[in-house]
Structure 1
Amino acid sequence: MARTRIDILLVERGLAPTRQKAQAMLLAGAVLVDDRPVDKPGTLVSSEAAVRVRGNPIPYVSRGGLKLEHALDRFGIDPTGLRVLDAGISTGGFADCLLQRGAAHIYGVDVGKAQVAWEIRQNPAVTLFEGTNVREFDVARLGDPVDLVVADLSFISLTLVLPVLHAALRPDGIALPMVKPQFEVGREHIGRKGVVRDETLRLAAVDKVVRASLECGFAHLGTTPSPVPGPEGNIEYFLHLRRAATSASPAVGGERGEPTCPRRTSS
């Protein structure tokens, strides 16, 4: 009997528009195969299996939309009419959430290519800078400073990109970067499957990024844990930051535009 990857089968049967959305549905625990939950996209199942999806758990192209939805609501931020920099756009979950809430334009930066979901990619309100390292992004390419910055980055400490996020914002602009402790605490503190289980270490990672943000000219207005964990179960945190109205950008100082706030290295 033929067997097919469950993420592919979901698309073939019209239960998900794309494999990316199918994978997000699986990771959210919304897929049942023969009435048993399946949460791994690579699981092989019979092509004749009974497959169903519980409810509509993810109204966005990825689970990232659910994460940002929580942060926007928790901090009372309405993106209607705002120009937004999405640092680490990936599939486009954050962008999808912002567009559904009325954002005027999204500028998506990502080191990867061809990852953004089609419905986000073809939206005229989205401009993509693919194959671009956020740390090296020239904010002049945005034209004018943006009103809001969101960030979901992997394999790099947020402390290294804060100068760019700061430089991209208008005075009094808001930043919502997501802290991923596994990329802040150092390898010696990372457990099985890259999960940071010690709450003390997770909170220390958040504090590290908050302190770096203050040094770069942000005001820290709040922190909230994401209700949706990372793929392996890591707990992640959103920071609510505001660029001071009178602060000069630390990301445009120096002869070559190098950041002038304290240099940091990944732990």
Structure 2
Amino acid sequence: MNSPRRRRLDAELVRRGLAASGEQARQLIDERAVTVNGAVAERAARAVLPGDALDVLRPPRFVGRGGEKLDGALTALGLEVRGRRCIDVGASTGGFTDCLLQRGAASVAAVDVGRAQLHERLLATPRVRNHAGVNVRHLQPGEVGGPADLVTVDLSFISLRVVMARLAALAAAGGDLLALVKPQFEAGRREAAAAKGVIRSPGVWRRTLTEVIAVAEAEGLAPQAVVLADPPGAEGNAEFFLHCTKPPAGDCAPPASALGGTVDAAVRAAASLGGLVV
């Protein structure tokens, strides 16, 4: 007699219709909102049996865990979304897009190099324009309706420095750009490989943030602040939101000391979560 087939918890949540996607399932597990036979589950990779009782304690607010990250950053920075035209670069399932919609965005152009990823609920929303299969390396503002009031960015496996010129062009004068800086993709390949993909060095966090900020300034953006992203990235990687404005010609960025203070504060916050000393 064959033993019942075990499945990963995140996959089983999707199979049973308790989560809309694997990303949403992992978000629920990260939020300790899933129980297995009455006990809170802590790992998405946990093996479960067909007869195990799975329960979701509360529905997720967004279609992807990125929505929680963006929501926290918008609140921390005091950025207004209501009535603004937005571009979401690296939309994937649509966590950022969903957050922007719930905060009252007039419209969101969801851009991603992948296809068939955006959540069906967002695809059915008139305020969303889906630009799947679009590589930001070659993206022109005219392809997404022109420069936007607010540009959000969540990219993986590429440095923001490589595409900063394209990102800057997507923001309208007087607009905002909010980019998720991922040190594991900003550090050199050898450095990231040595860390096995999880950067835990406050020195590397600070250096990569400084490098991205320098490129943003070179592309005509005015960096305003850095805040720690919460929840953290994959495998517990510390990630940071960089807020820039697109000033009219002649305007200048805030004093470096003020911006540097937010970098230091964000790095200290990340270090304290990991029990590190800065």
TM range (shorter): 0.7 to 0.9
RMSD: 1.9
Residue 69 of structure 2: aligned partner: 67
Identity %: 39
1:17-56 maps to which residues of 2 (within 5 A)? 17-34=20-37, 35-40=39-44, 42-56=45-59
Highest relative contact order (Cα 8 Å, sep 6+), 1 or 2? 1
Which amino acid is 1:153 matched to? L
Equivalent residue in structure 2 for 1:189, among 191, 207, 218: 191
Name the CA distance, whole Å, in 1 between partners of 2:23 and 2:229.
Answer: 21
Query: How far did 1:14 drift?
Result: 4.0
Name the CA distance, whole Å, in 2 between partners of 1:2 and 1:239.
Answer: 45
Matched, 1:244 2:247: yes
Indicate the SS of the match to 1:189.
helix
- Mark the CA change 1:103 to 1:206 in structure 2 (over 3 Å): closer, same or farther: same
List gaps (5 residues or longer) in structure 2: 251-278
Indicate the SS of the match to 2:161.
helix
Q: TM-score normalized by structure 2?
A: 0.83
**Greater Cα shift, 186-195 or 206-215:** 186-195
- Mark the CA change 1:28 to 1:231 in structure 2 (over 3 Å): closer, same or farther: farther
**8 Å Cα contact 1:20/1:117 also seen in 2:** no
Q: TM-score normalized by structure 1?
A: 0.86
Residue 100 of structure 2: aligned partner: 98
Residue 144 of structure 2: aligned partner: 142
Name the CA distance, whole Å, in 1 between partners of 2:240 and 2:22.
Answer: 27
List gaps (5 residues or longer) in structure 1: 248-267
Name the CA distance, whole Å, in 2 between partners of 1:172 and 1:38.
Answer: 43
**8 Å Cα contact 2:147/2:170 also seen in 1:** yes
Query: How far did 1:143 drift?
Result: 2.6
Residue 113 of structure 2: aligned partner: 111
Name the CA distance, whole Å, in 2 between partners of 1:52 and 1:39.
Answer: 15
Indicate the SS of the match to 1:241.
strand
Residue 217 of structure 1: aligned partner: 220
Name the CA distance, whole Å, in 1 between partners of 2:228 and 2:79.
Answer: 16
Residue 125 of structure 1: aligned partner: 127
Residue 18 of structure 2: aligned partner: 15
Spell out, residue by residue over 1:9-51, the C-alpha distance to the aligned partner (whole angstroms, 9 max, x if none): 32344432344422321243432212152422x4431111122
**Greater Cα shift, 21-30 or 133-142:** 21-30
Which structure carries more helix by proportion? 2
Matched, 1:228 2:231: yes
**8 Å Cα contact 2:86/2:150 also seen in 1:** yes
**Greater Cα shift, 47-56 or 115-124:** 47-56
Name the CA distance, whole Å, in 1 between partners of 2:224 and 2:119.
Answer: 32
Name the CA distance, whole Å, in 2 between partners of 1:36 and 1:146.
Answer: 42
Name the CA distance, whole Å, in 1 between partners of 2:15 and 2:131.
Answer: 31
Indicate the SS of the match to 2:223.
strand
